[in-house]
């Protein structure tokens, strides 16, 4: 089981390296969305600092959603998904390995680049750690929740729009707690409560989402 998960993780990472354009597209989308708001809102420092948490988190959320469309689509198209369904390893473990590879490729770069984007909003340097930690806890939850929608809409015509309609309402708690932790830190209050709620969401979603995704994949392939 561990060997199968390691094999899937290595395979998906190698495929992502061969499709650097897809990875760069999601990252560039994040940069562009986060950079457009200062141009549209204006250069008022206080206003930029006030909207920075929400803007950065919304940009990360939309970028994560953009990268979900092909999470299972390629495997479904070439028959690999059917082989995974028939394999000896539990499908939930295979799905967890695929989600880890997806987050390493699509989520971790957002965590790394977010403090650089925060510079244009004039966020104080002490908040960069809170920003990175909130994204480090929140972006895996976005991948886990979004993958459920990607599995349910697999193979459907217009699945991208339906995926957004299914997933975006479920992203609201992550957005609220993630942006709220930065707002608390900016106000001089302790952000630990918001971060702990994000960590709790991560633990719960990591425990149950892979098995829900496995069930959704079986339904979609029948």
- Average pLDDT score over residue span 110-132: 87
Percentage with pLDDT > 90 across the chain: 21
Residue 205 has pLDDT above 70, yes or no: yes
pLDDT at residue 188, as a whole number:
81
What is the domain extent for residue 213? 2-221
| Structural tokens at position 172 | 């609201």
183 or 89: whose pLDDT is higher? Answer: 183
Overall domain count for the chain = 1
pLDDT at residue 158, as a whole number:
66
Q: Tell me which DSSP letter residue 43 carries.
A: S
| Structural tokens at position 38 | 């200062």
pTM: 0.88
Confidence of residue 197 (pLDDT cuts 50, 70, 90): very high
Confidence of residue 134 (pLDDT cuts 50, 70, 90): very high
Integer Cα distance of 87 and 33 in angstroms? 41
Distances (CA, A) of 47 to 62, 126, 162, 181: 22, 19, 34, 18
pLDDT at residue 196, as a whole number:
93
| Structural tokens at position 131 | 């920003």
The string of DSSP letters for 141-183 reads: HHHHHHHHHHHHTTT-TTHHHHHHHHHHHHHHHHHHHHHHHHH
Distances (CA, A) of 10 to 101, 167, 174, 218: 8, 27, 29, 23
Per residue in 147-178, pLDDT tens?
998 888 887 776 777 888 888 899 999 999 99
Percentage with pLDDT > 70 across the chain: 99
Q: What is the mean pLDDT of the chain?
A: 86
Integer Cα distance of 221 and 102 in angstroms? 21
Per residue in 40-76, pLDDT tens?
777 777 888 888 888 899 998 888 888 887 788 878 8
Confidence of residue 140 (pLDDT cuts 50, 70, 90): very high
């Amino acid at each position: 089981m561990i060997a199968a998960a390691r094999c899937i993780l290595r395979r998906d990472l190698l495929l992502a390296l061969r499709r650097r354009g897809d990875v760069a597209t999601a990252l560039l989308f994040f940069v562009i969305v986060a950079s457009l708001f200062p141009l549209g809102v204006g250069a008022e420092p206080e206003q930029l600092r006030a909207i920075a948490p929400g803007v950065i988190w919304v940009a990360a959320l939309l970028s994560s959603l953009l990268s979900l469309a092909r999470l299972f689509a390629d495997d479904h198209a070439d028959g690999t998904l059917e082989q995974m369904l028939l394999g000896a390893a539990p499908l939930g473990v295979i799905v967890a390995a695929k989600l880890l590879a997806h987050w390493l490729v699509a989520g971790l770069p957002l965590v790394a680049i977010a403090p650089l984007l925060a510079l244009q909003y004039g966020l104080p340097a002490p908040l960069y750690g809170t920003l990175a930690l909130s994204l480090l806890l929140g972006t895996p939850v976005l991948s886990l929740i979004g993958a459920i929608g990607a599995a349910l809409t697999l193979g459907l015509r217009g699945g991208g729009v339906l995926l957004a309609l299914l997933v975006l309402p479920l992203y609201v708690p992550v957005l609220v707690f993630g942006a709220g932790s930065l707002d608390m830190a900016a106000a001089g209050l302790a952000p630990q409560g918001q971060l702990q709620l994000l960590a709790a969401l991560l633990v719960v979603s990591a425990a149950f989402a892979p098995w829900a995704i496995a069930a959704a994949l079986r339904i979609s392939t029948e």
